[in-house]
Structure 1
Amino acid sequence: MQQNWAPKEITPDAVGAEPTADGLRDLLGGRFDVADGLLHEKALVFRGFGVEPASLDPILDLLLPNRLAYVQGNSPRTKVGKNVYTSTEYPAEYPISMHNELSYAHQWPARLVFFCEQAAATGGGTPIVDSAAVLEALDPEVRAAFAGGVRYTQNLHGGRGFGKSWQETFETDSRDEVETYLASTGATWEWNASGGLKLRQVRPSTTRHPVTGAEVWFNQSDQWHVAGLDGDMAQTLAQILPEDDLPQTVSFADGTPIPAEYITHVRDTAWRLAVDVPWRTGDLMVIDNVAVAHGRQSFTGPRRVLVAMSD
């Protein structure tokens, strides 16, 4: 296992490029192979090119071959452009633990790009971690317990309620479109009398990188489990609602509860191995979403980081 891993930082001076958005665009469109860079480095940080929102779109077109919509995403986000979203609107005072985007879904993006439109006054970095290193570092008892996979349960309201609505989650108001989509995913679902949707899906706890074949920890059990909830509202919900009625929960694949100590072990192991990437306004970071998991540090002051993804 690679030791002391960190993302590769790329600056104009290091690659002989103009310190402008045009310089970055020329670099990405010519002599720099992003796919090869990600294969060897897993994450790339482009710093010092002065990228602004107005110059972002052509750069994303080069970094992301096929920009995807954030369908079935569980994080609160706002769509701000052509499949470009706020990275999260989770409260600033709470960190977000390490996760691979949409690892609970039947399909996930291969690549993510983050763009820092405005750096926070303090904190707000995006920590990342080698997913294979997380798997290797887990206690053998925990790894064995998760070997059969996990079952995710979502309760998506129909317009009023806690958490996200099914309309936001699937970016449509059509039940037929949702059911057509879900029919291809192996999920089970049911509509309730209030217009909400209960969704269950069983997924593996690990996967293999499509190029290297490396097995990696690849699930979001620590974010979906009640033991991983942050904030007063989350804790209150866990106290007043049956677990199966919470916006999202997780168990082992057969429905057996996951012990809280397993969840904290997974969460703490990933945090211990993570490398923080502090933001400067205008930075971009592209990551291999299978090889690398990401999170968010708590912060103060205004912060705006955008995210886009591709297959």
Structure 2
Amino acid sequence: MYDGQNWMPLEMTPNSIGVEPKPTGLIEYLDDADRLRELLTEEKALVFRGFNLSAGDLEAVMERVLPDRLAYVHGNSPRSKVGDNIYTSTEYPAEFTISMHNELSYSHRWPARLLFFCERAPASGGATPVVDGSRWLNALDPEVRAAFEQGVRYTQNLHDGYGLGKSWQDTFETDRREDVEAYLDGTKATWEWRSDGSLRVSQVRSATTRHPVTGTEVWFNQSDQWHQATLGDETAAALAQILPEEELPQSVTFADGTPIPAEYVIQVRDRGLAEAVDVDWTAGDLLLIDNVLVGHGRRPYSGDRRVLVAMSD
């Protein structure tokens, strides 16, 4: 919902949409695909609460809201596959904040929609913050926006089974080099197999994009998450003792290869989080977002939090 000053996801309950408070009530509502598409474009993110959903109901819901469910191919965050293109949310340690980002915005292909399902709520914390991408863009200083107009260059070093970060096998969900090559050939990325069996991938992407329906320009890159400056001084210093920057599991520069100033990516990270709205979880809740219009992250938590994620064109 947007009133010109503030934005937040639209919360939908059985009472608000006039259905019974059970899974069949929600599924009945979701059967109208055109209505859902228009509502999601208008509101940018939808929260469904009070429908008594369990993990067993998730497949029927996904059939309606994720028409072309995608695998998490070329994903860079640690997560586990738990079903047919269903994954755990990012498995970073619970004490850390995950900054705002649009899923796979560094890739040549990103999902149009993301669905989050809370199977187990945390004891405390653990909200999923969401941010209006146009507000995030407008929150940045003009100097920063201008600097990013040339785009960014992402570089990945994906090991062959042992090393820092993810392996190429986990990243591309295959152990066949020919499958990886076939995927990368269509991405406008440059890549090379290295003598130790690892894979280096470099790709230039835009820093912003426009929504295909509304034309709204949004901040749409993960430069802050790929930059050493946001790791913290101690972690960055420790990595520098082990590896040169070009050998890190992932790194980022401007498109022409020049370094991105640390203060720029810190501003991007902090202002994205400052503009975000927290979605707190109760077991059975669903969050559906337009992955172009809205970025997401994660707040620290305690307890046994389990949020599942699926994505679609």
TM-score by length of 2: 0.97
Q: Could you tell me which runs of 5 or more consecutive residues in structure 1 were left unpaired when the two chains were aligned.
A: none
Question: Is the Cα–Cα contact under 8 Å of residues 7 and 42 in structure 1 kept in the other structure?
Answer: yes
Q: 1:37 aligns with which of 31, 39, 43?
A: 39
Match of 2:222 in 1: 220
SS at match of 2:128: coil
Q: Could you tell me which runs of 5 or more consecutive residues in structure 2 were left unpaired when the two chains were aligned.
A: none
State the alpha-carbon separation in 2 of the partners of residues 235 and 54 from structure 1: 46
User: Taking structure 1 as reference, are residues 253 and 32 closer, same or farther at Cα in structure 2, changes over 3 Å only?
Assistant: closer
State the alpha-carbon separation in 2 of the partners of residues 50 and 234 from structure 1: 44
Q: Give the alignment of 1:249-288 within 5 angstroms.
A: 249-288=251-290
Question: Is the Cα–Cα contact under 8 Å of residues 33 and 65 in structure 2 kept in the other structure?
Answer: no
Question: Is the Cα–Cα contact under 8 Å of residues 64 and 309 in structure 1 kept in the other structure?
Answer: yes
Question: Is the Cα–Cα contact under 8 Å of residues 12 and 18 in structure 1 kept in the other structure?
Answer: yes
SS at match of 2:175: coil
Determine what percentage of the aligned residue pairs are the same residue. Answer: 63
RMSD after superposition: 1.5
User: Taking structure 1 as reference, are residues 62 and 230 closer, same or farther at Cα in structure 2, changes over 3 Å only?
Assistant: farther
State the alpha-carbon separation in 2 of the partners of residues 223 and 192 from structure 1: 25
- C-alpha deviation, 1:234, in angstroms: 6.2
- C-alpha deviation, 1:236, in angstroms: 2.5
State the alpha-carbon separation in 1 of the partners of residues 294 and 114 from structure 2: 10
SS at match of 1:146: helix
State the alpha-carbon separation in 2 of the partners of residues 31 and 263 from structure 1: 38
User: Taking structure 1 as reference, are residues 237 and 33 closer, same or farther at Cα in structure 2, changes over 3 Å only?
Assistant: same
Counterpart of 2:160 in structure 1: which amino acid?
G
Match of 1:89 in 2: 91
- C-alpha deviation, 1:70, in angstroms: 0.4
- C-alpha deviation, 1:27, in angstroms: 1.2
Question: Is the Cα–Cα contact under 8 Å of residues 226 and 238 in structure 1 kept in the other structure?
Answer: no
Match of 1:49 in 2: 51
Question: Is the Cα–Cα contact under 8 Å of residues 125 and 276 in structure 1 kept in the other structure?
Answer: yes
State the alpha-carbon separation in 2 of the partners of residues 240 and 31 from structure 1: 51
- C-alpha deviation, 1:255, in angstroms: 0.5
Q: Give the alignment of 1:1-311 within 5 angstroms.
A: 2-30=4-32, 33-229=35-231, 236-311=238-313
CA shift digits 1:194-234 (9 cap, x unpaired): 11101100000000000000111000000000011259666
State the alpha-carbon separation in 1 of the partners of residues 71 and 27 from structure 2: 23
Question: Is the Cα–Cα contact under 8 Å of residues 121 and 302 in structure 1 kept in the other structure?
Answer: yes
State the alpha-carbon separation in 2 of the partners of residues 140 and 238 from structure 1: 31
- C-alpha deviation, 1:32, in angstroms: 7.8
Question: Is the Cα–Cα contact under 8 Å of residues 33 and 64 in structure 2 kept in the other structure?
Answer: no
User: Taking structure 1 as reference, are residues 283 and 137 closer, same or farther at Cα in structure 2, changes over 3 Å only?
Assistant: same
CA shift digits 1:232-268 (9 cap, x unpaired): 6665324421111111000000110000000111111
State the alpha-carbon separation in 2 of the partners of residues 106 and 231 from structure 1: 31
CA shift digits 1:268-287 (9 cap, x unpaired): 11111100000011000000
User: Taking structure 1 as reference, are residues 151 and 58 closer, same or farther at Cα in structure 2, changes over 3 Å only?
Assistant: same
SS at match of 1:34: helix
SS at match of 1:227: helix
- C-alpha deviation, 1:33, in angstroms: 1.9
- C-alpha deviation, 1:18, in angstroms: 1.1
Counterpart of 1:124 in structure 2: which amino acid?
G
Question: Is the Cα–Cα contact under 8 Å of residues 94 and 231 in structure 1 kept in the other structure?
Answer: no
